[in-house]
Copies of this chain bind each other. A is one copy, B any other.
Amino acid sequence: MPLLHLSTWPEVETYLQTSQGIILPIGSTEQHGPTGLIGTDAICAEVVAKGVGEETGAFVAPTLNVGMALHHTDFPGSISLRPSTLILVIRDYLVSLSRAGFQKFFFINGHGGNIATLKAAFAETYTTLLDLNIPGGDRVQCQLANWFMVRSVMKLAHEVYGDREGSHATPSEVALTQFVYPEAIKEAILDPEVNQTCRIYGPQDFRRRYPDGRMGSDPSLATPEMGQKFYQLAVEELSRSYETFLTQD
């Protein structure tokens, strides 16, 4: 499992002679309802990324634990970067790694709220690499892979949870965290009525709209066993995606 942070720089130098790809897990630190862990999105992204790294031999960078979760910040314990900050962070990561010779950046993402900002950041970075005249910068490619939107994962979640999957603090993501941290399974009485819409505006509006933090989900359905299945499906499918990404022009 070639984790970047457990490697040395000469090992990276050697790796770059045969591959210019790297996997970057990105999650979020935000409320996930009464029973979901604040680190859910980072935990999921990290474990899936490590799995894909094992399967493919790709380097896995340290996890971006904090993402764009401004709409959750009216719940205590949530931490968010502003989109404009996250764009700079991604730019700094990719400039550092591109200068060293990396060219294929595969982001494994655990949080829907990161998607827009990440895409904006990729566009901003491509032009920044051009501005800085970084050799090979015009060959840099970023791909965004949301583990929770992987076809097989969504299919299974739909089959098992139906409408109770919801769109935040979902049983599928909670299950995956239970698989990783069985010692941290939380219990609470969940209101069976839960807002099924998924409109998102500002942080105060979010808390008024979704008072316990869930968006249409029933995380009490989660089990570690299902979590393991989601893990396996995600790793399997994203490993194939990564390999395709590496080889395609």
Chain A residues within CB distance 8 Å of chain B: 3-13, 16, 29, 31-39, 42-43, 61-66, 68, 70-71, 73-85, 87-89, 92-93, 96-97, 99-101, 113, 115-124, 126-127, 129-133, 137-142, 181, 184, 186, 188, 199, 201-205, 213, 248
Is the pair B124, A97 in contact by a Cβ cutoff of 8 Å?
Answer: no
Contact of A37 among B6, B75, B100, B142 (CB under 8 A): B6
> What's the number of copies of this chain in the assembled complex?
6
**Shortest distance between the CB of A70 and any CB in chain B (Å):** 5
Contact of A65 among B8, B65, B85, B99 (CB under 8 A): B65
Contact of A16 among B32, B76, B80, B127 (CB under 8 A): B76
Given contact pairs A84-B87, A87-B84, A89-B89, A70 touches B126 in the complex (Cβ within 8 A):
yes
Residues of B within 8 A of A201 (CB): 122, 126, 140-142
